[in-house]
Amino acid sequence: MDMSNNTDLLGSTSADFMEFAGLYRWLINNLSESMSRESQKYGLSFDQFLVMHEIQNANNETTNSALADKMQVSRSAISRQCRSLRKMAFIAEQSDENDQRIRRVHLTEKGLEVYRHLLFYYVDLYKDLQNEIGQDTVGATIDQSKKIFGRMASMNMDRPEAK
């Protein structure tokens, strides 16, 4: 194989990858901060809003373990989030009546009120995005992002370690 072709290929591919990596870094660093702007008015991060959303979606009948599995994060990460939400009185825990070892979490009235406000805010923000950029474009971008990041993750898991 001609080394100049390999260098050209690697150079172009490397630049494309670094642009992809830069987009990833921007999403992690900036989008989370931007999305947290409204929730911070209540002392919440956007991630904590997402925890509240999962609790609400489970009809207020879920556990920390179930939340961790659903959100694909560690149990300790969910425990920290829930501890903080409990301190702010947005969620409460209750022992299962059949098994006292199981602690179910639910939104409090205060938590439900904050959750509903934030949900309407974020849905309205999303509708504005769809109106500005176009519903088809937003939908296609979401579908393509799921495909790209999902495939990248699965390919990385299946790939042998570097030599």
The answer to whether residue 1 scores a pLDDT higher than 50 is no
Q: pLDDT value at position 132? A: 96
Euclidean distance between CA atoms 98 and 78, whole angstroms: 24
Strands (DSSP E) found in the chain:
62-63, 91-95, 103-107
**Where is average pLDDT lowest: 10-19, 23-32, 45-54?**
10-19
Domain 3-158 has CATH 1.10.10.10: yes
Give this prediction's pTM.
Answer: 0.79
Contacts of 51 (CB under 8 A, 6+ apart): 67, 71, 78, 81, 82, 85
Tokens, residue 6: 């390999």
Task: In whole angstroms, give the CA distance from residue 64 to residue 134.
Answer: 37
Do residues 34 and 41 make contact, with C-beta atoms less than 8 angstroms apart?
A: no
Residue 3 in this model has a pLDDT that exceeds 60: no
pLDDT tens digits, residue range 44-103? Answer: 999 999 999 999 999 877 999 999 999 999 999 999 999 999 999 999 998 878 877 888
Predicted pLDDT at 151: 87
Q: Which whole-number Å values give the CA distances from 86 to 6, 89, 96, 106, 162, in the listed order? A: 56, 5, 18, 10, 44
**In sequence order, which residues have a C-beta less than 8 Å from that of residue 102 and are 6 or more positions away?**
63, 95, 96
pLDDT digits (tens, 9 = 90+) for 126-146: 999 999 999 999 999 989 988
DSSP state of 43: T
